[in-house]
Amino acid sequence: MHTDPSVTIRRVDYTPPVFRVETVDLVFDLDPACTRVHASLEVRSTIGAAATLALDGAGLTLVELRLDGALLAPGRYTLDDTTLTIPDCPPRARVELVTEISPERNTALEGLYVSAGNFFTQCEAQGFRRITFFPDRPDVMARYQVTLRAARAAFPVLLSNGNLVEQGECGAERPGWHWARWEDPFPKPSYLFALVAGHFAVTEQRISTRSGRDALLQVWVKPGHEARSAHAMESLVRAIRWDEERFGLELDLERFMIVAVDDFNMGAMENKGLNIFNTKYVFAEPRIATDSDFNAVESVVGHEYFHNWTGNRVTCRDWFQLTLKEGLTVFRDQEFSADLRAAQAGGAQAAASARAVQRIDDVRVLRAAQFPEDAGPMAHPVRPESYREINNFYTVTVYEKGAEVVRMLQTLVGVAGFRRGIELYFARHDGQAVTCDDFVAAIADANGVELSQFARWYARPGTPVLEVSSDYDAVRREFALTVRQQGASVAPLHIPFAVGLVAPDGRDVPLHLAGTKPSTAPAASSATAETLILDVRKNEQRFVFTDVPAGCVPSLLRNFSAPVIVAADDSDDTLAFLAGHDADPFNRWEAAQHLALRAVLTILAGTAPPTAAQRLLEVFARTVVDASLDAAFREQVIALPPEAVLAEHMELIDPVALRAARHALRAELARALAPMWHDTWHALADPAPYRRDAASTSRRTLRNAALAYWVATGAPPAFAAAAAQCRDADNMTDRIAALHVLVNSPAPQRAQALAAFAAEFHDEPLVLDKWFAAQATMHRQSDDPPVLERVRELAQHPAFSIRNPNRVRALFGSFCHGNAAEFHAADGSGYDFWVEQVLALDAINPQAAARIARAFERWPKFTPQRRDAMRSALRRVADQDGLSAGVREIVERSLAQKVPT
């Protein structure tokens, strides 16, 4: 692991490996206290001559080292904290190593570790060097054979990558031990290595691929939890079929395995043929999982399976190219989810609404997390130029913005053209470690288009801003749009800009572009709309549409065709018109969001009666009762922008004032439409048992939104209804929604509801995570003590463990990242808590600590008292000796920011 926090790794300094590894033979003698690893590496010099072989290592005890069978004395090699170096290694050689590690002491959860008595691995990005010495970089791809040996009674299941080729008993040599040998037929980088050993139960299903090959699918879980993995198995089958149909890509192994573990730093890991998952993304049954949880399981299972090709068969040359696999695969899992939602909806209009809901969900994440990241100290291009700690760059920029860059490529060349590009990409690079440039070249060459200007997206940090103005020539019946890319001093980006024109009667106008023709296919959102993709390539461009009737309103950036901010001076009336009539569902939602933003900002400013609030109220009143719209889409329209999004529009962030303004708007919408919320909640009741079909899921979504607004009126019957739903509902979706409503209200039933919920689910860790998070994010009522007091109490709860990443995210992460008004209390108590937890976590699990450390990235944008206190807290952490590289990089980059004048 790169651990020196003072060293910066730069993309331009990349050099190819001096030695490649052709085959790896690993033998593990598994013992929690001391595992012995025997490694045999067949290495080959890339320069055709003897050279120095450098092997990465961290926290290893070297027991023995041999070169071509000869035992090496200490003078023949050098060993420090990070590297084992063998000078004058022959151009072809066999390196044999014996190392020892202590998995049970590995609290960082990188490399080989123990969770609940079972063995697991996590090797991305640089965990393999914690297992044995190796050139631990993604462009060293080798074929692996792995033998696992362990006590059968303690570890009856032995799994690794690839195909099981042999297994048996160890015999007299090790009584009571058994072994299993696995071979992976495909070369892979070390970060994709995996092993699992312990007590597990399995759910199996056999399938035939499109070409007729048989394959075994397995989901391994803690015994007794097999039924909870059924949805994960169904999702895996759907992902396999979708990838065959959409991209012509088949499962390439005899078996594909998923294993669930409670202690895991990430969501899941795509190790070749042996995916290791956080239980959060495997377990799903109505009693413990919400509809959103079911969707998340499906999405993450799809994501990790899709990595089998986009990430495993073709991987990244170096970690700067991380978005090559992650951005592309996020895009693929987003498309997978959108296609499934549309297929389940039934009917063209319902399918369009379902796709819009998925698109809105994707953009919500981008705006709430990635846009602020683009504006903060950790801002970086989707292909970073440098890093100190690579784990800090598993970010929403690399993942979600990276997915938007890939989506733009599909928009530019069309769905069929994008598939041609993917096919060429694999034809050229299967089995290789390549770059983002290689991917863009394949898309360009497969479609005969020039994408060199587009490639700037990979190198440009920040969120582009487009200034858009319009004018209309009534005599010539011409409507003109002028698009300016802010920042004339930098080279312009190539931006696919989807637009439509909405006539006064609410219908789209057919578009005819004067003098030229758009070079691309219609946007994905244009099933019922006339939409053109404008190629914005210059700092300023003017587009003229002919034969346009008077009174048309432009619909800009349809389906969010590019990850940009559009600055357009639309009136409140125009936004209300678009919210009610735009044929592009995404832009209907977008218009309502802009009205809500204006209403909140007007309340904050206290300058004039918020006409935007009145228009928003009218939009809500029309939308909620419009049965022609999907219920889940209606819920999206009436959801106010989150505080994190609103805060980015404030000159100086005052979280307490922001929450008060947002609450004021919400209360006004609740009171003014109280009968509608009451009636909607009652009308959408379903006495039938829980079902997970699309209609039922959408119904629950809108009904719970109506309940939240009804409770916001302060009506005692609403409190009673929420308490009854929390107590009696037959599914977690309705129960946790009601619990959130209660804890964020003055309802007298909230304490009893929290206690009853905890008592019922005391033995369900994933449900208790929801219980922790609900309290960490609660909006304090006037007579409540600070939420921080509750968080400190919950940190002492028997179910909480600072060593479990899920618990840390649920309690500390929810408070520091998800409850701004309480975390940023004026007395600075939240900042003292942050210092305590960052330092405590850093000694246990640096990745978990680094996530909490990022809570201060926007400190210069806060009010003076808060930013001074945050800067002081950052300095307190920075002054500590022995910080991990990840935490030090974050706090030092945060401190390097300048306070705006």
Query: Which positions are catalytic?
Result: 304
Residue type (1 letter), 856: F
The residue type at 870? M
Over 210-256, what HEC string results? CCCCEEEEEEEECCCCHHHHHHHHHHHHHHHHHHHHHHCCCCCCCEE
Residues 6+ apart with CB under 8 A from 837: 812, 816, 849, 852
Of 159, 356, 165, the C-alpha closest to 272 is: 159
CB 360 within 8 A of CB 589: yes
Report how far Cα 487 is from the mean position of its chain's Cα atoms.
Answer: 29
Alpha-carbon distances, residue 546 vs 450, 476, 584 (angstroms): 28, 8, 21
Question: Using CA atoms, how far apart are residues 298 and 319, in angstroms rounded to an integer?
Answer: 27
* Burial tier of 880 (Cβ tally within 10 Å: 0-12, 13-18, 19+): middle
Neighbour tally for 415: CB within 10 Å: 12
DSSP 8-state class, residue 317: S
3-state SS, 360-409, equals: HHHHHHHHHHHHHHHCCCCCCCCCCCEECCHHHHCCHHHHHHHHHHHHHH
> Could you report how far apart the first and last alpha carbons of the chain are, in Å?
40
Pairing, β 315-316 against β 177-183: unpaired
Burial of 398 (0-12, 13-18, 19+ CB in 10 A): buried
Output DSSP code: residue 673.
Answer: T
Kindly state the tokens that stand for 440. 């863009």
Residues facing residue 866 across a β-bridge? none
In this structure, what token pair is assigned to residue 266? 């990430």
Q: Which residues are 202's β-sheet partners? A: 220
Q: What is the four-CA torsion angle of 610, 615, 616, 621, rounded to 10 degrees?
A: 140
Q: What is the 3-state secondary structure (H, E, C) of 326-370?
A: HHHHHHHHHHHHHHHHHHHHCCHHHHHHHHHHHHHHHHHHHHHHH
| Cβ(148)–Cβ(28) below 8 Å | yes
Cα–Cα distances in angstroms (integers) from residue 768 to residues 401, 732, 737, 806, 848, in the given order:
32, 12, 14, 10, 19
Distance CA 256, CA 276 (A): 11
Listing DSSP states for 416-459 in one string gives: HHHHHHHHHHHHHHTT-EE-HHHHHHHHHHHHT---TTGGGGGT
**DSSP state string for 618-648:** HHHHHHHT-TTS-HHHHHHHTSPPPHHHHHT
Q: For residue 610, what are the CA distances in angstroms to 568, 644, 657?
A: 19, 21, 17
Phi, psi of 447 (to 5 degrees): -120, 0
Lookup result for tokens 């070409």: 211
In whole angstroms, give the CA distance from residue 251 to residue 655.
49
Residue tagged 């921080």 (tokens)? 788
**Rounded Cα distance, 670 and 710, in Å:** 6
